[in-house]
Amino acid sequence: MIQIENLSKKYGNKVVLQSINLLFESGKVYGLVGENGAGKTTLFNCIAGLETYNGEIKSDLPILKNHLGLLVTEPYFFPKITGKEYIQLLCNARNINTIDFEKNKIFDLPLNEYASKYSTGMKKKLALTAILLQENKYFILDEPFNGVDIQSNIIITEIIHKLKDLGKTIIISSHIFSTLNDTCDEIMILENNSISKRVIKSDFYQLENEMKKKSIGNKIDFLNLK
């Protein structure tokens, strides 16, 4: 469980998040959507302890960040660290010292090569593998499907389902609505610095139509396609 109470965040005079109140329960998957710059990543960073903020974030385990796996949109890797060394480093941070790399090689990555040489999709898969092997209780996945091949997207979807079955708390963002529909129990809309709507799974279809209407309107007609 993660509970957020009256969370607000500013950069100087610019308000990014205002009066955010959310409860994320164990064994559920939550989707966060919003336009670019809406504050999704900032909210994730606040939960992960990477940003200062006003308000309070509670969890059912002490020191939330010590039990949280954060997948950022563009993972960073030191220039001279191999995929295997990166996984070992993150696992060491959770006092997990014994890793069967062959058994856990679900994405068939070249683990003996420098991670900085990986493609965008490979870097994301490496970072995801590492936080999964940390045995975290909570997961924040910022655009986990972006830049990843179709086969890996299928694997990631099934991983999210498995984490849910294990009673984990999972929060994801995605600009691909079908991935949210396939994984989430609830979707939250972040706009105008706050959560404007929370939608349960039975209403996802209606939400998708509302989002299409708001985003597209009659803009395509203006192209006068022939």
Domain edges within the chain: 2-71+138-222
The answer for residues whose C-beta is within 8 angstroms of residue 81's C-beta and 6 or more apart is 89, 114, 115, 116
Contacts 24+ apart (CB under 8 A), 208-212: 208/177, 208/181, 211/33, 211/177
Residue 217: the pLDDT is 67
* Residues 38-68 pLDDT 10s: 899 999 999 999 999 999 999 999 899 999 9
> Is 213's pLDDT higher than 90?
no
Integer Cα distance of 198 and 178 in angstroms? 17
| Mean pLDDT in residue range 80-102 | 89
* Residues 94-150 pLDDT 10s: 998 878 877 777 898 999 999 999 999 999 999 999 999 999 999 999 999 998 999
Categorize the per-residue pLDDT at 168 as very low, low, confident or very high, splitting at 50, 70 and 90.
very high
What's the CA dihedral at 23, 156, 109, 105 to 10 degrees?
90
> Is 218's pLDDT higher than 80?
no
> Is 164's pLDDT higher than 70?
yes
Out of 49-53, 147-151, 162-166, 175-179, pick the least confident: 175-179
Domain 2-71+138-222 maps to which CATH number in 3.40.47.10, 3.40.50.300, 3.40.50.720, 3.40.50.1010? 3.40.50.300
Q: In the predicted model, what is the mean pLDDT of the chain? A: 91
* Residues 1-15 pLDDT 10s: 999 999 999 999 999
In the block, residue with structure tokens 């992960």: 48
Question: Residue 60 has what DSSP assignment?
Answer: S
pTM of the model: 0.91
Integer Cα distance of 38 and 155 in angstroms? 28
Out of 100-104, 162-166, 185-189, 195-199, pick the least confident: 100-104
Residue 137: the pLDDT is 97
> Is 223's pLDDT higher than 90?
no
| Mean pLDDT in residue range 157-174 | 96
> Is 163's pLDDT higher than 80?
yes
Residue 89: the pLDDT is 93
